[in-house]
Amino acid sequence: MKKIIDLLEEKISKAFEESGYDSKYAGVTISNRPDLCEYQCNGSMPAAKQYKKAPFEIASSVVEKLTDKTVFKEINVVNPGFINIILHEGFVSEYVNSMKDEPDRGMDKSEEKLKIIIDYGGANIAKPLHVGHLRSAIIGESIKRICKFMGHDVIGDVHLGDWGLQMGLIITELKERQPKLPYFDENFEGEYPQEAPFTIGELEEIYPAANAKSKTDETFKDAARVATYELQSGRRGYFALWRHILNVSVADLKVNYDNLDVHFEEWKKESDAQPYIPEMVEYMKREGYTRVSDGALVVDVKEETDNKEIPPCMIIKSDGATLYNTTDLATIVERKKLFDPNHIIYVVDKRQGLYFEQIFRCAKKTKLVDDKTRFTFIGFGTMNGKDGKPFKTRDGGVMRLEDLITSINEAVYNKIMENRVETEEEARRVAEIVGLSALKYGDLSNQATKDYVFDIDRFTSFEGNTGPYILYTIVRIKSILEKYKERFPESAAKAADILPAEQIQEKNLMLELLKYNEVIESAYEELAPHRLCAYVFDLANAFNKFYHETNILAQEDIERQMSYVRLIVLVKEILEQCINLLGFEAPDRM
């Protein structure tokens, strides 16, 4: 289904051509002055330079050709040459009616179905999720849903950190605590226990203790390095321990990600890329892509057009060890072999921008992927406290993600209980749904690259630009529809068209609906969930203004009442579709 702007541009393009001007100047935009008009075309200004005429003269001749009163209620020229457009109510309602009858409300899917991998999550084994993991998970999940909605084959990969020094630290600390475990006996040849020798709680205490010890005890740190090397070299007992660490950690991570309604198609790990490293390194050396610099193996990725310094991408350290660079490049090799993606998107802290620039360039230069493979780095900013510093607990520590979720849910629960109409059990259930919307919307409504302040009072407010406000709007519509069904069961069962608007709030609500396809498309093209947030807020505001000016259930004109009902059904459907793409849902009651 064509976007409303495309339909308008077709008509204005024809008018430009009939007036003797190039149709490329017929671009239409939503007006940034809704008090003056609804849409506008500003092409007369750049056209004036080509045709050596006044913009007003060009615009006037174009407007003379736009005589279709079924489309244009008003169309006029404003100095120096703006073409201001107000649409006819019948044209607007006709388009809205088409939306309600089309699958996905008339959203056109992408013409070419792509294979897309989104790398988000990035949790580390044996460590609890904390607030630093929040943005990657929330932004990545929303982008994945948007890409899927546009018709692509999308794979979300958690890409767990499971192969670095933290494994050696845990193994070494565990060896000091329980030296008699069979995993540490190099002569043990039997079957290792199927039960892990620790719980997730114990594991999460072991790692920070080991990490702290490594900073003051060089002997311990050296032992951890040796343990890491032996694990990566295939020591049987350590590999069995690593498997226990992995299983216990992943089970806990899945619970926490499920609580966020964040899901992954692949639970890949750094270790999965290790088998690809030897052949990849050998290939790079053989093809002449590498050179030796101070004993390290590197690939030069700087280009002549660079205005800033881009260091070489190190593949192997001078001591023969691999790096994150090596693992990430091998992961690209693995993804190419297993999935052959057209596009790989990384949702990572924006401070990693230079690092990923090196990785992408290295992968392209060494032809690990072909020229058509696209890489995108989505760098996100920091979630800060009210003091402007990275969000911490009251005692200055890094807050666990589950504690943050609990605090949000508790704040929403307390607000619900202030006007208690539900049972406590129902209030708790609703608080979890609304709390998740507060958390996700509070994050996603900001442009990803920007830092933002986590303000629990503002995020959980039922007024203003918040998740709870959006949900409250949807619940309000559900309540109206339920009452309508009870009072007018016969009318509720009938299909109805949406009539042309009779009042300004009604038309403004329809005009917001017209933006839907364009907003989804731009959110996809820019990989920008904040575009969706801005739209659902505007749509919710337009509905609430319409609601306050229109007594739907008391409307005496039955046909007009049915039109109102069908209109708000469409509003509800689009709001629900948008919040699903953002990663949350609405309850039936609030």
Report the alpha-carbon distance of residue 250 to residue 590 in Å, rounded: 34
Residue 580: CB atoms within 10 Å: 15
Q: How confident is the model at residue 386 (pLDDT cuts 50, 70, 90)?
A: confident
Measuring CA to CA, how many Å separate 454 from each of 274, 281, 437, 441? 38, 44, 14, 11
Does any domain span residue 66? yes
Residue 459 lies in a domain: no
User: Residue 142 corresponds to which amino acid?
Assistant: S
Q: Mean pLDDT, to the nearest integer, of 530-554?
A: 97
User: CA-to-CA distance for 119 and 126, rounded, in angstroms?
Assistant: 20
- What CATH number corresponds to the domain at position 67? 3.30.1360.70
DSSP one-letter code for 28: E
For residue 392, what pLDDT band results from cuts at 50, 70 and 90? Answer: confident
pLDDT of residue 389: 83
229 found inside a domain:
yes
- Read off the amino acid at residue 94: E
Which alpha helices (DSSP H) does 102-235 contain, by range? Answer: 134-149, 165-177, 200-214, 218-232
Residue where a domain stops, chosen among 46, 66, 87: 87
Q: What's the pLDDT score for residue 396?
A: 61
> What DSSP designation does 359 have?
H
219, amino acid identity = T
Q: State the pLDDT confidence band at 394, using cuts at 50, 70 and 90.
A: low
pLDDT band at 173 (very low <50, low <70, confident <90, very high): very high
DSSP letter for each residue of 32-101: S-TTT-SEEE-THHHHHHHHTS-HHHHHHHHHHH---TTTEEEEEEETTTEEEEEE-HHHHHHHHHHHHH
Domain count, the chain: 2
pLDDT band at 460; cut points 50, 70, 90 = very high
Give the mean pLDDT of 127-131. 87
CB atoms within 10 A of CB 237: 19
Q: What percent of the chain has pLDDT over 70?
A: 99
pLDDT digits (tens, 9 = 90+) for 1-38: 999 999 999 999 999 999 999 999 999 999 989 999 99
pTM of the predicted model as reported, rounded to 2 decimal places:
0.94
Q: Is residue 286 part of a domain?
A: no
- What pLDDT shows up at residue 424? 87
Say whether pLDDT at 475 is over 80. yes
Q: What is the pLDDT of residue 545?
A: 98
CA angle (139, 144, 148) in 5-degree steps: 150
Indicate the DSSP class of residue 269: B
Using CA atoms, how far apart are residues 368 and 362, in angstroms rounded to an integer? 8
Residue 56 in any domain: the answer is yes
Average pLDDT, the chain: 95
Kindly state whether residue 241 falls inside one of the protein's structural domains: yes
- Tally of CB atoms within 10 A around 371: 7
| Bond preceding residue 80 cis, omega within 30 of 0 | yes
Residue 160: both structure tokens together: 């767990």
Give residues with Cβ within 8 angstroms of 389, minimum separation 6.
none
Print the SS3 string covering 314-340.
Answer: EEECCCCCECHHHHHHHHHHHHHHHCC
Instruction: Print the SS3 string covering 171-192.
Output: HHHHHHHCCCCHHHCCCCCCCC
Q: Kindly list the distances between the CA atom of residue 414 and the CA atoms of 136, 397, 405, 428, 587, in Å, as whole numbers in the listed order.
A: 29, 26, 14, 9, 17
- Give the 3-state secondary structure of residue 580: helix
For residues 34 and 87, the answer to whether their CB atoms sit within 8 Å is no
Tell me if 552 is assigned to some domain.
Answer: no
- Residue 555: is its pLDDT beyond 90? yes
Contacts of 546 (CB under 8 A, 6+ apart): 505, 506, 508, 509
pLDDT in tens, 267-321: 999 999 999 999 999 999 999 999 999 999 999 999 999 998 999 999 999 988 8
Residue 241: in which H helix or E strand, if any?
helix 236-259
Domain boundary among 208, 236, 259: 259
Residue that is last in its domain, among 34, 54, 87: 87
Taking only Cα atoms into account, the Rg of the chain, rounded to an integer number of angstroms, comes to 29
For β-strands 374-380 and 343-349, DSSP reports them as: parallel
- The pLDDT, as a whole number, for residue 395 is 64
Count of residues making up the chain: 590
Task: Identify which of 174-178, 316-320, 391-395, 425-429 has the greatest average pLDDT.
Answer: 174-178
Residue 138 has pLDDT above 70, yes or no: yes
Q: Are strands 296-299 and 291-293 parallel, antiparallel or unpaired?
A: antiparallel
Mean pLDDT for the stretch of residues 460-470: 96
pLDDT in the model for residue 390? 80
Of 149, 151, 111, 115, nearest in space to 266 by CA: 115
What is the predicted pLDDT for the residue at 60?
97
Residue 493's pLDDT is 73
Average pLDDT estimate for 75-82: 96
Compare 233 and 585 and report the one with higher pLDDT.
Answer: 585
Confidence of residue 419 (pLDDT cuts 50, 70, 90): confident
Going by the DSSP 8-state scheme, the letter that residue 403 receives in this structure is H
Tokens of 16: 């430009």
Over residues 143-162, the pLDDT tens digits come to 999 999 999 999 999 999 99
**7-13-18 Cα angle (round to 5):** 135
**Confidence label for 379 from pLDDT (cuts 50, 70 and 90):** very high
The more confident residue out of 589 and 342 is 342
pLDDT digits (tens, 9 = 90+) for 211-235: 999 999 999 999 999 999 999 889 9
Give the domain range for residue 189: 165-259
What's the mean pLDDT in 464-488?
96
C-alpha neighbours within 13 Å on the C-beta side of residue 199: 2
| Tokens linked to 145 | 């849903």
Q: What is the pLDDT of residue 398?
A: 77
Write the CA distances from 213 to 128, 169, 219, 362, integer angstroms.
19, 9, 10, 37
Instruction: Pull the structure tokens for residue 205.
Output: 């205490």
**Do the domain assignments include residue 334?**
no
Residue 492 pLDDT > 80: no
